[in-house]
A = this chain, B = another copy of it.
């Protein structure tokens, strides 16, 4: 069995990560990657570009965890203190390495640039550390074993970090786990509430283990994350059993498995059905099409969309009749239906989505409060509409709208003819 007691810590280095704008996101990638080998991230930290702070954090974390992953602070400028902080934390010397210097020259040459004068700073190696080449940037990383714990130091830019993580760190963890892995499978659910899902699946907790099932909700999407540990085949079989049991209970709430969200689920379903879709968006302002086209390969199924913020655009680009707009108002079931049908017909797709609503913060009335959203789906056999008053701020209302409309589409796609 995987040793489930192994814990990890992530330390992100960089004063810019302590400002009011930017968050460290590398820790998410690291968390997901190490989980596969049964290593659980139990602590995260962010430190500024101060060699003392970084050294202190590394020292404390190595003392507490089996794995410490440091990201950032490896560049060539005076701000980049991580290398020196590692030397200080481990109380080991740091020395210039000619071979690393060669790598660095080669990297700059590959970009057609002369090696800058400050680059040799990156060629210094902490005694006993294994330097890790960087094929996507110039700053090398390092791996060091310290009293049974492993310290991995990776570059801050995600693209560079990810390559080193996969190529150099994960094989070490694979060795730790001695052939066992910890696999996860995520059922993405649409059109359901977290509390209802919890109620429905609760009795499976005992059968499969409470700690191997987690439920995460986010504005119209619920993710059920299943985990199984063991030798790869056995873990996969167990996940198959779990998935089957949960599908039995959840039925058509399951929009997809191991997909990023409803946009990806919809792209996958349309592709397998060989069908296309188009969008007509008002309050979501292009968010639905932006998310659909975030999915690589969306161009096979998504022909395009219209963002109709003004009534004139609803009329001229989507063919929503002026009377409908006047009689029912732009935020109405009738307009949502006409938008969906207009997108489908005018843009030439099998399916059309229409969304109109009041995302706020202003624009609400007694009859049509902020948060009221109408959405509709037009398909080969008809048009279906729904509405709800969503709680929350403007971005939250937009997110709920996006997921609700995509959920209606994928349910119609999957409906028996």
List chain A positions with a Cβ less than 8 A from chain B: 16-25, 27-29, 31-32, 35, 40-48, 53, 57, 60, 159, 214, 216, 223, 225, 278-279, 281, 284-290, 292-294, 296, 298-299, 302-310, 312-313, 316-317, 346-348, 361-362, 392-395
Contact = CB atoms under 8 A, between A and B. Distances in A.
Nearest to A20: B32
Report whether over half of chain A's contact residues are helix, strand or loop; otherwise say mixed: mixed
Contact of A31 (B20, B44, B317, B394): B20
Most buried by B among A35, A42, A46, A284: A46
Contacts of A394: 294, 296
Contacts of A312: 303, 347-348
A305 B317 CA distance: 9
Given A310-B348, A316-B346, 6 more contacts: A20-B35, A159-B392, A285-B292, A296-B394, A304-B317, A313-B347
Listed from nearest, the 7 A-B pairs whose CB atoms lie closest are A285-B293, A286-B289, A286-B286, A304-B313, A20-B32, A286-B290, A44-B46
A43 B41 contact: no
A346 B317 contact: yes
A137 to B, nearest CB: 12
A17 B41 CA distance: 10
Contacts of A223: 21
22 contacts: A18-B31, A18-B40, A20-B35, A21-B28, A23-B28, A42-B48, A45-B45, A159-B392, A159-B393, A286-B290, A287-B293, A294-B394, A294-B395, A296-B361, A302-B309, A303-B310, A304-B310, A304-B313, A310-B347, A316-B346, A317-B317, A317-B346
Contact of A25 (B17, B23, B53, B304): B23
A57 B9 CA distance: 13
A303 B298 contact: no
Nearest to A19: B31
Nearest to A17: B44
Contacts of A278: 313
Nearest to A289: B286
A287 B285 CA distance: 9
B45 A53 contact: no
